[in-house]
Structure 1
Amino acid sequence: MDVLIHVFVGLHIVGIGALLGGFFSQLKAMRAGEARMIPAMLHGALTMLVTGVALVGLNQADDNSVNTVKIGVKLALLVVILGLVYVKRDEEKVESAAFGAVGALTTANIFIAVLWT
């Protein structure tokens, strides 16, 4: 079971990388007011959601303790991120505030995962 959990942790990190990498690739365009929500950002957020749910289930099945408050906060942030990316995915230009919110919430999600013990 540990190997499966580690595989899903790796896939979760890949999702974070796709979401944050997509954000960073658009920073220069954001400064010019021409940023877009690229497909990698949507796919990364969906990957994070699927693997995160799988990780909670696998950890509970393995009788590991799960901090449900932490998971709830991370899920709430991810739902907001997914909502923003999904709604704005077809727009030619996304407002800097909405685009910056995706980057800030993704970064907050990472820090919650790492620092909240």
Structure 2
Amino acid sequence: MDVVTNLFVGLHIIGIASLLGGFLTQMKAMSAGTARFVPAMLHGALTMLITGVALVGLNQAQGHDINTLKIGIKMAVLVVILALVYVKRDDETVEKPLFGAVGALTVANIFIAVLWT
């Protein structure tokens, strides 16, 4: 069961890398006002959502204690990110504050995962 859990952790990290990487590649365009949400950002957010739910289920199945407050906050932040990226995915450009908010929420989600023990 540990192998399956570690596989999902790896996929979860790939999802966050896709979301954050998509944001970082558009930062220069953001300063020019031409940033857009690339498909990698949407796919990364969806990957994070699916693997995150699977990880919670796997940990519960193994009898581990789950910090439901932490998981709830992380999921709420991810749902906001996913909603913003999904709604604006076809727009040619995205406003700077909205694009910056997605980046900030992504980084916040990373720090919640790493620092909240």
Scaled by the length of structure 1, what TM-score is found? 0.99
Alignment match, 2:65:
65
In structure 2, stretches of 5+ residues that fail to align are: none
Distance 1:82 1:115 in 2: 22
Alignment match, 2:85:
85
How many equivalent residue pairs?
117
Distance 1:101 1:8 in 2: 27
Alignment match, 1:38:
38
Distance 1:109 1:50 in 2: 15
SS in 1 for 2:94: coil
- Alpha carbon RMSD of aligned pairs, Å? 0.3
Distance 1:89 1:97 in 2: 16
Offset of residue 66 of structure 1 = 0.7
Distance 1:91 1:43 in 2: 16
Alignment match, 2:100:
100
Distance 2:75 2:106 in 1: 11
Distance 1:80 1:30 in 2: 20
Cα distance per residue 1:14-63 (max 9 Å; x no partner): 00000000000000000000000000000000000000000000000000
Alignment match, 1:51:
51
AA at the equivalent of 2:59: N
Output aligned runs, 1:3-18, within 5 Å: 3-18=3-18
Distance 2:63 2:29 in 1: 46
Q: Percent identity?
A: 74
AA at the equivalent of 2:19: L
Moved over 2 A (4+): none
Alignment match, 2:115:
115
In structure 1, stretches of 5+ residues that fail to align are: none
